[in-house]
Amino acid sequence: MKLEHHIAVSVPVSLGVFYFTKSIFYFLFSLAIGVLVDIDHIFDYIAEEKKFDLKHLFIKSYLGDFKKIYLFFHAYEYVPLAIFLGYYFKNMTFAFVFVIPYFIHLIFDQFSNRTKPLGYFLIYRIFVKFEMKKIFNVPPGGIHKI
């Protein structure tokens, strides 16, 4: 999903978080989680290209032009982990303010990025050795059309 779409989804989610928590901190935290999860694309790009070029990063990401893709911040396993940690540290508000925008980010990515059903499970990606074609349904010409 493109950055502007994540922002468009994250703003109302974060406004909902603010409505229930009355906290600017939680509003900003929710907004950051909803958008900044995608920072892992930068790590994948640098790992493959051995350089950083912001324009090419967006092109390569939207075309799905990777041999291997790690996406370490895109993993459903973090949802139960966050809930467990919230329970353990007796701060379920913080846990849910993480989980809600994070899970929504993953769900939107799951259905807009042609991700295979298990593609956003880190354990599955490890099992398939992070091979892009085993994580995403990559048609000729890439995942997205620019």
DSSP conformational letter for 67: S
Helix (H, G, I), strand (E, B) or coil at 110: helix
How far is 98 from 79, CA to CA, in rounded Å? 8
Structure confidence by residue, pLDDT tens digits, 6-33: 999 999 999 999 999 999 999 999 999 9
pTM over 0.85: yes
Look up residue 100 and give its two tokens: 């809600």
Q: Give 102's contacts (C-beta < 8 A, 6+ positions apart).
A: 33, 34, 37, 78, 79, 82
Q: Is 87 exposed, middle or buried (0-12, 13-18, 19+ CB in 10 A)?
A: exposed
Structure confidence by residue, pLDDT tens digits, 57-71: 888 887 778 999 999
